Chain A
Amino acid sequence: MRVDEEHEYVDYVRAQLPRLHRVAWLVLGDRDRAEDAVQNALTTLYKRWGRRGEVDNLDAYVHSMVVRACLSDQRRPWTRVFLRDTPPDTAVEAAIGQVDERLFVGQALRRLPERQRIVVALRFLCDMSVAEVATVLGRSEGTVKAQTSTALRTLRELFEASPRAGLPMRRPA
């Protein structure tokens, strides 16, 4: 890549990093993995930077690349879609039994099957439309709608069934 093209690439990355990081973090819930996913996507972008003119909407294209990188991360058996904020902020006050909502939502999501988990993460955490999710995941819009509906129904049941207390917080001694 020519030096002037690299300058353009760096300028573009600099402008987009906060937004891309936010998407990755919301999907993966882990800062390190989110940054890895963003780096992976932007490395692919670097390889293709000379052909950026062939893309109608570069921002949307790169957004999809980051989502795909997150999904690739999801395929590793040791990862799951879950939400985690900075650990101290996710802790709870045991005395009054209040469970932090972030942890509460994250744990509920973890109980969904992976396909449903990813769909609701993209739909409601990344604010993507049904069509956009379908495109990114390579599924039909009908499938996305059905998986969304099933996931929301399951989440509603989980939310209503949980006393929002007593969720597992501590490791075995």
Chain B
Amino acid sequence: MNPEEVLRSHAEREVPPVRLLADDVLVTARRRVRRGRIRLVAGVAVAVALIAGVAFASPLRRPDGGPPAVTPTQPPVLPSRSVAPLRCVAAAVPAPPGLSAGQWAVHAIDPTGRFMVGGYGSAQSVTGLVLWKDGVPSRPAAAAEFSPNAVNRDGTAVGSTRGAGGERRAARFRDGTVAQLPLPAGATSSDVFAVNARGDAVGYAMLGDSGGVGLIWPAGGGFVEPSAGEGRTAQVAGVTDDGVVVGTARASDGATVAYRWSVDGGSGAPLAKGTAGSATTGGGDWAAGAAPLTRPRDPDELGPWHARWNLRTGAVEPLGLFTPYAVSAGGTVLGRATEHSSGLALWHDGGVTSLPLLDPARPAVWRAGITADGRTIVAGMVEGDKHDEFDNTRWTC
């Protein structure tokens, strides 16, 4: 075996899609540069005070004698509302028979909590479906090449299978069978992100060098390419049970706006007036996602990084640095407490509850889902040097 060939072959693999947005990169860069300046100023202030031999009573210094604080210059992590934390208990997800901890991971849960879906290695480089119904796992034989992303209350799972050329291919698992979903001509890879109670699904297709298009697969059949208006492309991320599709409209200059459509691809409109950013998840009357202030009047102004949108009223609620993964029908947001924190947390009514880990050594989230009432959460947790192991966890709050 030629190791050089093995390594080069390895490098040709498809890498996970990048989640960073250019606008987010800018906001982070601004913030870090600004923090650096503040630290420098604070350091100079400390030096001057020490040199002058005066008692150090600078407001930069904490009352407990800790290091100079920079908190006042940091963007708000959370709204200031005080909310009692939830009490959540972690338990292991029942393992599929015959699989070890490194061979499967839970991906999502349906809004009622009755179904869960996950993936397992069914063969070399191939993911198969694990379906839990009422807590009992199974590996449907027909879905040995199906990687799920979401499941609805009927047990319909959506995700991808492998196309004729081995490419990722949008598909749906229902009633024991996997069906490939229709695609526009020239699609080279595709996937499905979300499905609602009726069976409407949303995802994307890559069209070779032409880039990607957001797609809606209405429950009645066929597919629709939602329109984001002249010169803008549509990316879709979630679909609510009321048939509201949420996502992003991206202009030719790269500016993004959190957007919504109906399942027929029409009625496109911003989630809120003047809101830059992108909706990355939706549920009930809610959407959540990134909402950086990319074009503030003051270039140094720091805006909320993320937000929750009310789809009925258009109201925007800042989540600060809380990074949303999913939002429940009741509006509870599942995500990371801050951009660099590990573990999972719930944002609810303006407060944050961190979810306890089965093993602190595995605090990184692989995939996660939440029920409609926001009281049950599932996630495959990984971390550290042993990335081939999972703590597949189900929290009850």
Contacts and interface: CB of A to CB of B under 8 A. Distances in A.
Max chain B Cβ within 10 angstroms of own Cβ: one of A3, A87, A110: A87
Interface stretch (B12-20, B43-51, B368-376): B12-20
Contacts of B6: 101, 105, 155, 159
A87 B22 contact: no
B237 to A, nearest CB: 18
Contacts of B99: 91, 94
Given A78-B385, A100-B121, A169-B102, A159 B22 contact: no
Given A10-B254, A17-B18, A91 B299 contact: no
B185 interface: no
Contact of A17 (B25, B33, B388): B25
A43 B28 contact: yes
Interface stretch (A50-58, A62-70, A123-131, A134-142): A123-131
Contact of B98 (A13, A21, A39, A94): A94
Interface in A75-107: 78, 80, 82-96, 98-103, 105
Contacts of A25: 15-16
B338 interface: no
Nearest to B106: A88
Contacts of A78: 384-385
B3 A156 contact: yes
Contacts of A155: 3, 6-7
Contact of B7 (A6, A93, A125): A125
Given A30-B387, A43-B32, A35 B120 contact: no
Nearest to B23: A10
Given A47-B33, A100-B125, A31 B16 contact: yes
A128 B250 CA distance: 33
B312 to A, nearest CB: 32
A93 B121 contact: yes
Nearest to B14: A85
Interface residues of A, number: 67
Nearest to A22: B15
B3 A102 contact: no
A157 B105 CA distance: 32
A144 interface: no
B22 A95 contact: no
A17 B15 contact: no
B154 interface: no
Interface in B109-130: 118-127
B121 A90 contact: yes
B141 interface: no
Contact of A94 (B7, B22, B100, B126): B100
A35 B121 contact: no
A13 B7 contact: no
Interface in A107-151: 110, 120, 124-127
B7 A105 contact: yes
B304 interface: no
Nearest to B148: A88
B350 to A, nearest CB: 27
B125 A102 contact: yes
Contact of B103 (A9, A83, A92): A92
Given A39-B20, A156-B1, A88 B8 contact: no
A90 to B, nearest CB: 6
Contacts of B15: 21-22, 25-26
B18 A14 contact: no
A91 B127 CA distance: 8
A92 B26 CA distance: 40
Given A90-B387, A156-B3, 15 more contacts: A10-B22, A10-B26, A21-B18, A39-B25, A46-B33, A82-B387, A87-B388, A91-B105, A91-B121, A93-B124, A94-B100, A105-B10, A125-B10, A170-B103, A170-B389
14 contacts: A3-B299, A36-B340, A39-B20, A83-B10, A84-B387, A88-B121, A91-B103, A93-B123, A93-B124, A101-B124, A125-B11, A156-B3, A159-B6, A171-B102
User: Which 7 residue pairs of A and B lie closest in terms of their CB atoms, listed nearest first?
Assistant: A91-B121, A88-B119, A46-B29, A170-B100, A14-B22, A155-B3, A124-B7
